Amino acid sequence: MTTTRGKKKKQRELPPRPETGAGAYTIKEFCAAHRLSEAMYFKLKTQNLGPREMAIGRRVAISIEAAADWRRQREQTATEATAA
């Protein structure tokens, strides 16, 4: 009989932060950096709770400023919900 005791779960490696590179996330990078599934990202988007997006040709990107604003809004909403 074999067990998995003592084995550590391998953590997923996150993509490099945009602050050190391009200055914008792809949707996939945004989701990985914020630990969201892409399905949850699109669900939030349909509820108008997603971050601001910018179109670059056919591509969609999320600026680091938009990501920071989105985090602040989510934190504020969570704080208000717990205070009520």
Q: Is residue 5 situated within a structural domain? A: no
Which pLDDT belongs to residue 19? 55
Mean pLDDT for the stretch of residues 55-67: 95
Q: What is the pLDDT of residues 12-59, one digit of tens each?
A: 665 555 555 568 999 999 999 999 999 999 999 999 999 999 999 999
Give the separation between CA 28 and CA 3, rounded to whole angstroms.
34
Q: Is residue 55 situated within a structural domain? A: yes
Number of domains in the chain: 1
pLDDT band at 71; cut points 50, 70, 90: very high
Give the separation between CA 83 and CA 49, rounded to whole angstroms.
20
Q: What CATH number does residue 50 fall under? A: 1.10.1660
Which pLDDT belongs to residue 84? 76
pLDDT band at 83; cut points 50, 70, 90: confident
User: Quick one: CA dihedral 59, 60, 61, 65, positive or negative?
Assistant: positive
